Amino acid sequence: MSASTAVVAGTSLQLTVDGGRSFRTVLANGDDWSVVGFTTAEAGFALSYPNSSYAQPNGLWRTDDAGAQWHQVQFP
């Protein structure tokens, strides 16, 4: 992340690289999203929830490129 880059969670994950002047959808799968957090400028995580039910998440997602692409974390 930088001063001009951010990811916003809602009914999709939205990315801005121009300080919020424009956004593009980077992940929309029908779920709602919460808890976007970054551990470095490139590595971040988000939780997905089905049907606006924030009781139990149904997916943990990770990005390694500052939010441009997201991949679901697979657990054994």
pLDDT, position 56: 81
Cα–Cα distance measured from residue 33 to residue 39, given in angstroms and rounded to the nearest whole number: 18
The answer to whether 27 and 61 have CB atoms below 8 angstroms apart is: yes
Banded pLDDT at 67 (limits 50, 70, 90): very high
Digit-coded pLDDT (tens) for 25-40: 999 998 999 878 999 9
The model's pTM is: 0.84
Q: 51 in helix, strand or coil?
A: helix
Cα–Cα distance measured from residue 76 to residue 50, given in angstroms and rounded to the nearest whole number: 22
The answer to whether 62 and 45 have CB atoms below 8 angstroms apart is: yes
Other Cβ atoms less than 10 A from the Cβ of 24: the count is: 11
